[in-house]
């Protein structure tokens, strides 16, 4: 894509109403637009990041047998009354609205109820189970405060998956299958090394732990105790001697860290399936409860988390897998030879499925380099009269400080094409 075809621009001004580094950077780089606190629109570059993350999540959920659906934002009251989650005194972050006839509706903050209810129309025999269903969809939560940029939104994108099992053993197999897929997601996003499966409170209807996926970060709201060798952690909220013993963790091996929750997986027991009257019948004709698990990944939160984690004083530093474009190609000067070579390289890379943001603007080199650093594509290639004369490209990785003179062959090798 040509930079002159992109309507967004970078800005040198740090937005005055943002305290979170992720929102500051993403707004300055033209990736997102703030609609109000906790509500952000995705501009072309930001949407590409979001879609790249969605693709990774979707591929991993499909790979373990997840069936994708899309539930609705508008929610009928009756469904949530059955699980006692309608009343604002019980669930305090609903957005609610009304039909013309006065009927109150909820604006989906989660989807256990509608998902279980829809599934109930199809599942009734032991032959119909187990099932893994997921969606990647917008959630609405009426948070009192929302000042962490994309880390805590009032409107945000989440992947939520639900498992339905016949037995505790089957549930645990599904649970661990999803856990393994979660590790692959964080690995592919480039934060596997700083993301820990973390034992946490299971909520009020189970004595089991839930598992959070916590990414180490100074801006985190959570405190966790990390066993780096075992690649496990325990959340401060359940940090007791008894729990450490249950988990096989040793106080001496643990280090206290701040972290951001980028995913969680929960045993839901039979709370929702029982409440919504969804059972299965076994081979002998006997009715049984269905054991459910719930698995979330904060997809838009990850945009923010990656912006926090992969950035420096000059701007964003996207990992290869989520960068809006892999290559930032810039011309210096407007001579025919420079433009011709740049257009050719742009076409060649595009043909080879390497995404390129081609900075064809007639602005000075310093401005292009500053923008390249702020927007954070992994590979920067510069073409100038000097490089044309020398028969090379000027190449720099966003993470290095020095540029190199490379042949076209070497550049292609670096890009893996």
For residue 210, state whether it binds a second copy (rule: CB under 8 A): no
Q: What is the DSSP letter of 2?
A: B
Biggest alpha carbon distance in the chain?
82
Determine contact, residues 198/256, Cβ cutoff 8 Å. Answer: no
Q: What is the sign, positive or negative, of the torsion defined by CA atoms of 182, 186, 192, 195?
A: negative
Binder of a second copy out of 22, 75, 195, 311 (CB under 8 A): 75
Closest CB 143 distance from a second copy, rounded Å: 8
For residue 72, state whether it binds a second copy (rule: CB under 8 A): yes
Determine contact, residues 204/185, Cβ cutoff 8 Å. Answer: no
For residue 364, state whether it binds a second copy (rule: CB under 8 A): no
For residue 73, state whether it binds a second copy (rule: CB under 8 A): yes
Three-state DSSP class for residue 35: strand
Across-strand partners of 222? 259
- Token pair of 233, please? 């952690």
Ordered alpha helix ranges (H), 150-309: 168-188, 241-247, 271-275, 299-309
Closest CB 61 distance from a second copy, rounded Å: 12
Nearer Cβ to a second copy (79/200):
79
Across-strand partners of 26? none
Interaction with a second copy in 132-191: which residues (CB under 8 A)? Answer: 133, 138, 140, 142-144, 154-155
For residue 360, state whether it binds a second copy (rule: CB under 8 A): no
Binder of a second copy out of 17, 96, 286, 334 (CB under 8 A): 96
Nearer Cβ to a second copy (156/213):
156
Nearer Cβ to a second copy (31/213):
31
For residue 279, state whether it binds a second copy (rule: CB under 8 A): no
For residue 107, state whether it binds a second copy (rule: CB under 8 A): yes
First-to-final CA distance of the chain: 19
Determine contact, residues 130/164, Cβ cutoff 8 Å. Answer: yes
Taking Cα atoms as reference points, which of 364, 338, 344, 366 lies closest to residue 356? 344
Determine contact, residues 201/209, Cβ cutoff 8 Å. Answer: yes
Stretch of 68-76, 180-188, 336-344, 401-409 lying at the interface with a second copy (CB under 8 A): 68-76
Three-state DSSP class for residue 178: helix
Question: Any idea which residue has 């939560």 for tokens?
Answer: 141
For residue 392, state whether it binds a second copy (rule: CB under 8 A): no
For residue 403, state whether it binds a second copy (rule: CB under 8 A): no
For residue 192, state whether it binds a second copy (rule: CB under 8 A): no
Determine contact, residues 197/232, Cβ cutoff 8 Å. Answer: yes
Binder of a second copy out of 13, 89, 98, 351 (CB under 8 A): 98
Binder of a second copy out of 22, 53, 56, 114 (CB under 8 A): 114
Determine the Cα–Cα distance for residues 236 and 258; give it in Å rounded to an integer.
10
Nearer Cβ to a second copy (143/410):
143
> Using omega within 30 degrees of 0 as the cis cutoff, is the peptide bond preceding 92 cis?
no
For residue 68, state whether it binds a second copy (rule: CB under 8 A): yes
For residue 334, state whether it binds a second copy (rule: CB under 8 A): no
Interaction with a second copy in 19-48: which residues (CB under 8 A)? Answer: 30, 33, 35-36, 39-44, 47
For residue 89, state whether it binds a second copy (rule: CB under 8 A): no
Query: Where do contacts with a second copy occur on this chain (CB under 8 A)?
Result: 5-9, 30, 33, 35-36, 39-44, 47, 50, 65, 67-76, 95-100, 105, 107, 114, 118-119, 121-123, 128, 131, 133, 138, 140, 142-144, 154-155
């Amino acid at each position: 894509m040509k930079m002159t075809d992109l309507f967004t621009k970078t800005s040198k001004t740090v937005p005055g109403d943002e305290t979170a580094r992720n929102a500051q950077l993403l707004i300055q780089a033209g990736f997102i637009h703030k609609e109000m606190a906790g509500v952000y629109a995705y501009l072309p570059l930001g949407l590409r990041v979001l879609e790249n993350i969605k693709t990774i999540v979707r591929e991993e959920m499909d790979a373990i047998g997840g069936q994708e659906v899309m539930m609705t934002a508008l929610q009928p009251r009756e469904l949530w009354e059955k699980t006692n989650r309608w009343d604002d005194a019980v669930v305090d972050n609903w957005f609610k609205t009304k039909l013309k006839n006065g009927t109150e509706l909820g604006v989906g903050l989660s989807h256990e109820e509608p998902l279980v209810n829809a599934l109930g129309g199809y599942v009734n025999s032991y032959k119909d189970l187990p099932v893994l269903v997921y969606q990647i969809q917008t959630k609405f939560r009426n948070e009192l405060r929302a000042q962490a940029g994309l880390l805590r939104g009032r409107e945000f994108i989440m992947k939520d998956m639900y498992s339905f099992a016949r037995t505790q053993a089957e549930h645990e197999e599904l649970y661990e299958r999803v856990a393994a897929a979660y590790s692959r997601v964080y690995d592919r996003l480039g934060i596997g090394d700083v993301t820990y499966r973390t034992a946490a409170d299971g909520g009020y209807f189970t004595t089991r732990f839930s598992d959070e996926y916590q990414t180490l970060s100074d801006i985190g709201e959570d405190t966790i105790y990390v066993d780096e060798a075992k690649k496990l952690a325990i959340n401060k909220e359940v940090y007791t001697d008894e729990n450490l013993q249950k988990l096989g963790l040793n106080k001496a091996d643990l280090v206290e860290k701040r972290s951001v929750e980028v995913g969680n997986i929960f045993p839901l027991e039979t709370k929702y399936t029982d409440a919504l009257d969804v059972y299965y019948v076994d081979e002998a004709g006997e009715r049984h409860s269905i054991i459910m698990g719930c698995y979330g990944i904060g997809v838009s939160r990850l945009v923010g988390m990656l912006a926090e984690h992969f950035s420096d004083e000059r701007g964003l530093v996207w990992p290869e897998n989520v960068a809006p474009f892999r290559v930032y190609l810039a011309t210096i000067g407007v001579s025919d030879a420079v433009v011709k070579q740049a257009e050719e390289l742009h076409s060649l890379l595009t043909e080879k499925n390497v995404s390129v943001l081609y900075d064809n603007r007639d602005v000075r080199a310093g401005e292009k380099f500053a923008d390249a650093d702020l927007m954070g594509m992994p590979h920067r290639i510069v073409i100038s009269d000097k490089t044309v004369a020398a028969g090379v490209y000027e190449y720099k990785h966003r993470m290095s400080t020095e540029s190199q003179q490379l042949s076209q062959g070497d550049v292609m090798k670096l890009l893996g094409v």
